[in-house]
Structure 1
Amino acid sequence: MATLRRTKAWVWERYGSPDVLALREVDEPEPGRQEVLVRVRAASVNPADWRHLRSDPHLVRLSAGLRRPKPGSILGADLAGVVERVGADVRGLAVGDEVFGDVRLGAFAEVVAVPQETLVLKPEGVSFEAAAAVPMAGQTALRALDGLVAGQRVLVNGASGGIGTFTVQLAKALGAHVTGVCGAGNADLVRSLGADEVVDYNREDFTRPLEPYDLLVDMVGNRSLKDFRRALTPKGTLALVGGLSSGGGRVLGPLVQVVKGMVVGKFVGQRITGVSWTPGKQALNHLAELLAAKEIVPVIDRVYPLAEVPEAIRYVESLRARGKVVITV
């Protein structure tokens, strides 16, 4: 019998703060027939990581484990790395390929076995750190902008955050007139991403625009439903990113049940959509093309080594990050 190789990964055996994480040696995973073994070069931290860690909301326990996380659970959804082994039925990927994608859980490790459909080739000239910053935030931004037409007016509330920085860039690439809402300290950053206008939420009320918006993408949940409606055209759309697990869900309260990515409520001619991350190879390939063409450039606030994953999660949980936080392995 072959001896299993050992590797390092951050495991968690109970819910709580980042202090419950432990960097341990574990058995190297064996890729299945339709999986590839990826040597992780970079991963990124998302709000989903600390929400899973803290069981916030408690609904995450339905998938992560009711009383405690499932044995061997490893956080981290986004990764970029190099293919080391391929399963017998894998097509289109080979040993040595540089790839990036999403694994839902498991990226905070040296190696991970990944279903082939969750990965695409990393564009040449794009760093592993930049590629790892894209999957979850980039795909969520794409969903939030679904149906956007060139020339429409878009407001992005939370424009300097991980999803917000991609939303601004993607909306501009689609030909929209983009207004970003952020603090004064992040105004220059948001302008550099292509925003036509920037609103300082400490000085201006973005829900009382001179001209209403066709689409309002909210990552913050800091205003009432009435306020958001006031900022939209009679046929405008409010896209609440994160559903019930974020501020967006709290805006609706008992009025509407936010279901992933579906229109769930109508007010006059306006509509509300709940937007959450849905992995897909088609969207990843599209993002890879935009990365290669430099139509989107990931904003990376801080880079931490694998040994400092708990510190990286704490920083993302503080809500102070500009753009993305990346782990290098």
Structure 2
Amino acid sequence: MKTSNALTPAQGDNKENGKMKAIVQTEYGSTDVLSLQEVDKPVVTDNGVLVRVYAASVNAGDWHLMRGTPFFSRLLFGGLLKPKIAILGSDMAGRVEAVGKDVTQFKPGDEVFGDLSECGFGAFAEYVCVIETALVLKPTNASFEEAATVPGSALAALQGLRDFGQLQPGQKVLINGASGGVGSFAVQIAKTFGAEVTALCSPKKMNMVRSLGADYVVDYTKTNITKNEQRYDLILDMAAYRSVFDYLPLLTTEGTYLLVGGSAAQFLQMMFLGDWISRISRRKVKYLACKPNQQDLLTLKELIVAGKIVPFIDQCYNLSEVPAAIRHLEQRQVMGKVAIRV
């Protein structure tokens, strides 16, 4: 596994009076609004799974929810003036401590990982209680840290390539932002689909991207990819900071451009003008709307067990260091994922 500082589960938990530690926010702002606090431990519901969190990971969505920007994110998750989500973190891995009477898939002691983005978030804490369909059993060949980096980013990569891009064996895919969280998984998953992968990244990250299996790695500081004569069946854009019109000439006649991440301006352009751009360009132009689900988590687990995808961890922080971890991610220099040791 491409990682270091593997997690050893904490021993001798001392959680008296039903309390736990968590990173909490009560207002929007910089990482200064985050603080380590003692809060009530979740109560197990009839259909809930109580998990002792051993590891989590940081995503771009965490800093957007923390800052409340772009503003439309407040409409999606509630809290126009103050956040309704007090504990951030959507990706986690841990061990089941208790289950409700209606739970059938898990039992105490099971090692699990999952996506909490549709279950109220809450991974930056010592415990979380979620519905069982948000979880799957952790791959035995992955550490808790590694498993915690998978759900959101790898799920986006899988659905982007398979469902939105409909990538087929032998097709050519261009991945912009190939060294980041989603991009590092996208390179590996595209190769499992039998595609030819061209990866775009900064020079200091080229060796890392090559290690993931990319066929061609392009330094965007030296090469203007939009002048490339190569044509691609799919362009997966994780760093959309230039116009989609710059990429359209690179697509085959049946090609697809898919926006996954980047500036709010480009995302809004795709939301409101994507269909129009598709019509006038005669190319498929889309933006990714990821749908967390248990079956895709199982697919990712199988790929990890088979050794076909390997999480790449840039750095690991302790729970109390979540603000520093988010600042590190905001600098956009991360290779792979940032993990949190809980």
Task: Select 1:285's aligned residue among 294, 298, 302.
Answer: 298
| 1:265-304 alignment, distance < 5 Å | 265-304=278-317
- Of residues 250-259 and 77-86 in structure 1, the stretch that sits farther from structure 2 once superposed is 250-259
Instruction: Give, in angstroms, the shift of residue 273 of structure 1.
Output: 1.3
Task: Select 1:207's aligned residue among 223, 226, 233.
Answer: 226
Does the aligned pair in 1 maintain the 2:267–2:287 contact within 8 Å? no
**1:227 maps onto 2:241 in alignment:** no
Aligned to 1:127: 143
Instruction: Give, in angstroms, the shift of residue 158 of structure 1.
Output: 0.2
Structure 2 counterpart of 1:161, which letter?
Answer: G
Residues 106 and 195 from structure 1, CA distance in 2 versus in 1: closer, same or farther, beyond 3 angstroms?
same
Question: Aligned with 1:215: secondary structure?
Answer: strand
| 1:96-175 alignment, distance < 5 Å | 96-104=109-117, 105-146=121-162, 147-175=166-194
Percent sequence identity over aligned pairs: 47
| CA RMSD after TM alignment | 1.8
- Of residues 4-13 and 152-161 in structure 1, the stretch that sits farther from structure 2 once superposed is 4-13
Does the aligned pair in 2 maintain the 1:177–1:196 contact within 8 Å? yes
Question: Aligned with 2:113: secondary structure?
Answer: strand
**1:5 maps onto 2:30 in alignment:** no
The C-alpha deviation readout for 1:219-255, integer Å capped at 9, x for no partner, is 111322221101111211001004xxx32x5337657
The C-alpha deviation readout for 1:93-119, integer Å capped at 9, x for no partner, is 000000000112100000011111100
The C-alpha deviation readout for 1:197-229, integer Å capped at 9, x for no partner, is 011001111122232000000011132222110
Aligned length: 320
Task: Select 1:36's aligned residue among 49, 54, 71.
Answer: 49
Does the aligned pair in 1 maintain the 2:248–2:281 contact within 8 Å? no
Aligned to 2:80: 66
Instruction: Give, in angstroms, the shift of residue 267 of structure 1.
Output: 3.7
Structure 2 counterpart of 1:103, which letter?
Answer: L
The C-alpha deviation readout for 1:119-165, integer Å capped at 9, x for no partner, is 00001121001100000000100111021100000000000000000
Task: Select 1:313's aligned residue among 308, 316, 326.
Answer: 326
Aligned to 2:100: 87
Does the aligned pair in 1 maintain the 2:271–2:287 contact within 8 Å? no
Distance in 2 between residues matched to 1:108 and 1:256, nearest whole Å: 31
The C-alpha deviation readout for 1:164-208, integer Å capped at 9, x for no partner, is 000000000100000000011111111111100011001111122
Does the aligned pair in 2 maintain the 1:52–1:64 contact within 8 Å? no
Structure 2 counterpart of 1:169, which letter?
Answer: Q
Residues 254 and 92 from structure 1, CA distance in 2 versus in 1: closer, same or farther, beyond 3 angstroms?
closer
Distance in 2 between residues matched to 1:272 and 1:89, nearest whole Å: 43
Residues 83 and 144 from structure 1, CA distance in 2 versus in 1: closer, same or farther, beyond 3 angstroms?
same
Does the aligned pair in 1 maintain the 2:197–2:215 contact within 8 Å? yes
Larger strand percent? 1
Question: Aligned with 2:247: secondary structure?
Answer: helix
Structure 2 counterpart of 1:162, which letter?
Answer: G
Aligned to 2:272: 257
Relative to the length of structure 1, the TM-score reads 0.93
